[in-house]
Structure 1
């Protein structure tokens, strides 16, 4: 039942009034003017109709699990794609390939077809009408308060999403009257700090009226609760404290035509303290309502090695598990044959009983630099582990019986794939890897499904469109309950809500903010180590002391910052966070100017297959590419707007 709430965009149909030229011109600046007032009034006569309008407000939430549409998946460098023209022509992948522009911006949420200003307008209309006690006469006071809070949260979230993209944005707190003149809608951008204060203030107001958890799990899962609002507040403050917006000299001179500076030119340490306090408040609210790090409790016969991997995989794929603070039900009910279904995009043909089954698309290909990112089994980076030598990372090695739960026994694969942490084997599949599923052919994790990715082998290529280009698949996002349907081009799987916020994310947010605010301290390590422990690793201090060639790294703020950043990139890999984190840390100019590489999939022999192939030379221009361009036309018709630097 709950999947119906947000699955399709349910926008109330309204009849637009034929306005004069002035009103038409208004819409070109920013869509904040309401539609036909009479029709809107009809939408707020009864509780049932008002709830439909609330669902309209929800419907604009970006589908973060949509492979083609999500920025986090294909607009950065975390996954690459085999080719243009099949599923991903004219999509956000063009951003990753350097095609963003100001004439017709890609993923234009300012004034494009999916403008979030329209979403904000709907939220304002809903709030203004439902606050009127003379309207929606059959709506109970407690429910009225909750619905208003949900719309307030959504309005804050849409402002936050625009802030991440564009930096300073106009604050649109009310829907302007339908009679508004062009001058009244020629609004300018507000300074970043003002926008942050507005968003967090609105989230505080909403949080006080939201329920601590969903009580009607049959129909309301995915709707906003108090822990969600507090978690987003923490995320907003973390963004505000980060180098992109906290005293960034690249933006110090950006100002409105009237001279208003849009970015603070000075660094403010206190912003990190505010972010830390907000993250801790969100953690406390979440734990008080029963949220905790996920642990797999299945009774299936498996080794401790595989059970640790299931702790990691099912933190994502086990529907509505206790770690999930906010799960989005958008785009999760699609049939496994649909190309926009995330599991199908990631999956490979691992079942030898269905070797030509086209239910798996093999599209999301993980670059070598992401595979190298994961730690060794000692919990430190491969370039720091003093007990292992990864210098010849593509050297050939044969997997032993002791390694059979991670690697196919007796199979030859690259040095890079040995001696890695559990998240490496839980998140990734590759030539020679084990891919354990619930319907294992052996009914255990021994001698189960494996991947064979070299030319002529089962997982190398189904046809000229369906193949993995780098040699690494995203296992993390595929439910362990996926099952191919014989030789038919079909499969079954279990849908799961997309993890917008996990408790592990909050732990890492808190650790990051606390380290920046006060430096290394016991509480920073406590929350870092909770995430690592679930991933099967020892604590940070123990791991670096025993295995790193830089044992003192965790003792300084700068060293611990690097550790926290990497921990976050690993723990939250393939969940859409890397795209945004690299930007707020101002690390995108380094990472997104690194070539995208993979193994040579055209080769059949191990020694030839494990040659590094350059797939694309990414180009990130700083500071320009840290912020989205506003469409050139919008700037030309509104003299109050200023373009982002470099565009």
Structure 2
């Protein structure tokens, strides 16, 4: 087969894979019906490539909300309790109800190991033009995916049980304790280094330096470096580095699973890894996406809004070829004023709304021009006349990411409906539907396309970015602030993210602790609703009970029971929107499932479960 046909086959396999990625059953369950055993599969090129494609199925889809990827709904970002309630929010989280998908991840880890055990013997692949290179790339991708699935599990349950690299047989001893966090990190990083040796920097068209669009979604060195940056940033963070409050988290033999000895050098290592990831990404054409507008503010707005459909090729370092954004997310996030009537219920909590800065770059409490008692006489491209002034003169990301009372409709509106109306009797208010309304009076707007409508159904298919350049910049700024406070690169890379969003440079002369808070706030805003960042960040920083970071308790919003006009003052009053279970220490980690603990008697749960 010619190499061009090979690439078309790869693209078809990836396309088919991600079309069916939401299925709960394993991609390869159909194989026994074809009377194929493992040996037969790996003697046949097509079956081998089907197996290889199936290895990608557990890569998460961050925009598969609200019923799939739920981590934003377990934090002070979003709420979907009109439709579902994650067990951690009700206080019912226990090993029998764990939302961790560890079991599916172990299944994928095993499939990666079987693939790696057998791929070298496929003579059909070996005989292809560049067969050795093709097999090496497949091997590198499978090695990466096996490591990544462990890392994804570690973000949920902490130190993990690492199974043998050779696929187990029914007679193998599988009573295996957790590895320590440090051992888990070392194992994953070692595997990533092995993968990197077999992977290209990117996949280019034959004989050119042009990226081959048919290879989008395949693993390359840029992706490996980006994931290493993420791992090492976490590894340096307080939950995992010098944690003296969780010395009771031990294996049955007394082995302490979290390192209580602080190692300041981890931050420097994390900074070096982040800069390395940035350098390789930028050397291959990646950078912050920007789009033009008629003014500086409109340029910022277009840049932060359009990056999800126009800018992923520029900003996306690791890109998922397909996403449920066009299936479940957009219809659940969009207001009922959208043509065809969307579901209008992915609610944004008041605290996040308040954390978005004003257009001058100030926090709302620091801006003397911020007010909540006036109403705007003049419409703008972002809100209509009569909108409360608390929503005026805010930063561009606020208008790109949040629907509020008076916001211009985010997609294709119904006839005559130009603005989002969340007040009680408004077009998207509580009085108009039994449950299709956001409890807080705000809904998610990020990554809702301006042409989206339900009927006629208009949805622009697009990939999703799992890791993007802005995250790498913020990783670097955070790690550098902890390892080398005052280093000019801290403000340099932080300001790149701020400036793209239309904000001025950060104030000079900030202390290390002040800069830490600015960096954390920037992650809060820039990465909101994406990739479980908030879920992980408040945990790794060990701040889940601190003011400004509190997880659990009372959450606020506008008064959804009140108001019969856009400018009704009674609607624009903060009131309790819902309540979640109070934070408990055990929530720093999700439990392994009880079924796993029953099978593996060496497996300990985090204390409290």
Superposition TM-score, scaled by structure 1 size: 0.83
Could you tell me which of 536, 558, 566 is aligned with 2:513?
558
Could you tell me which of 578, 591, 594 is aligned with 2:534?
578
Distance 2:439 2:30 in 1: 47
How far off is 1:108 after superposition?
3.4
Q: Deviations over 1:28-86 (max 9, x none)?
A: xxxxxxxx9x71111111222111111111112223221112133322231112524xx
What residue is the counterpart of 1:482 in the other structure? 452
What residue is the counterpart of 1:289 in the other structure? 284
Secondary structure (helix, strand or coil) at the match of 2:493 reads helix
How far off is 1:274 after superposition?
1.0
For 1:342-357, what aligned pairs fall within 5 Å after superposition?
342-350=329-337, 354=339, 357=340
For 1:512-531, what aligned pairs fall within 5 Å after superposition?
512-531=478-497
Secondary structure (helix, strand or coil) at the match of 1:383 reads helix
1:121 aligns with 2:110: yes
Could you tell me which of 355, 376, 379 is aligned with 2:361?
379
What residue is the counterpart of 1:638 in the other structure? 600
CA contact (8 A) 2:498 2:505 kept: yes
Distance 2:288 2:384 in 1: 30
1:593 aligns with 2:552: yes
What residue is the counterpart of 2:313 in the other structure? 321
CA contact (8 A) 1:247 1:268 kept: yes
Distance 2:226 2:37 in 1: 36
Structure 1 gaps, min length 5: 17-35, 543-551
Superposition TM-score, scaled by structure 2 size: 0.88
Distance 2:545 2:45 in 1: 50
CA contact (8 A) 1:436 1:448 kept: no
How far off is 1:179 after superposition?
4.3
What residue is the counterpart of 2:90 in the other structure? 97
What residue is the counterpart of 2:3 in the other structure? none
Distance 1:279 1:173 in 2: 30
CA contact (8 A) 1:47 1:137 kept: no
Distance 2:582 2:262 in 1: 25
Distance 2:521 2:233 in 1: 17
CA contact (8 A) 1:82 1:468 kept: no
Q: Deviations over 1:446-502 (max 9, x none)?
A: x99422222222222552232222111211120123245xxxx44302122122111
Distance 2:468 2:433 in 1: 37
Distance 2:473 2:273 in 1: 12
Distance 2:147 2:238 in 1: 22
What residue is the counterpart of 1:48 in the other structure? 46
Distance 1:460 1:398 in 2: 19
1:534 aligns with 2:500: yes
Distance 1:312 1:228 in 2: 22
What residue is the counterpart of 1:24 in the other structure? none
How far off is 1:330 after superposition?
4.4
What residue is the counterpart of 2:393 in the other structure? 419
What residue is the counterpart of 2:7 in the other structure? none
What residue is the counterpart of 1:76 in the other structure? 75
What residue is the counterpart of 2:19 in the other structure? 7
Distance 1:540 1:258 in 2: 49
| Counterparts in 2 of 1:190 and 1:218: CA distance versus 1, 3 Å | same
Distance 2:115 2:74 in 1: 33
CA contact (8 A) 2:43 2:123 kept: no
How far off is 1:123 after superposition?
0.6
What residue is the counterpart of 1:625 in the other structure? 587
RMSD: 2.6
For 1:39-438, what aligned pairs fall within 5 Å after superposition?
39-67=37-65, 68-81=67-80, 83-84=82-83, 88=84, 93-102=86-95, 104-111=96-103, 115-132=104-121, 136-138=125-127, 140-181=131-172, 184-215=173-204, 217-297=212-292, 303-318=295-310, 320-332=312-324, 338=327, 341-350=328-337, 354=339, 357-358=340-341, 360-385=342-367, 387-389=368-370, 395-401=372-378, 404-409=380-385, 411-413=386-388, 415-435=389-409
Distance 1:331 1:465 in 2: 26
How far off is 1:15 after superposition?
7.6
CA contact (8 A) 1:162 1:169 kept: yes
| Counterparts in 2 of 1:449 and 1:318: CA distance versus 1, 3 Å | farther
Structure 2 gaps, min length 5: 1-11, 206-211
How far off is 1:514 after superposition?
0.6
Distance 1:623 1:349 in 2: 39
After superposing the two structures, state which structure 1 stretch, 7-16 or 372-381, moved more. 7-16
What residue is the counterpart of 1:466 in the other structure? 436
What residue is the counterpart of 2:522 in the other structure? 567
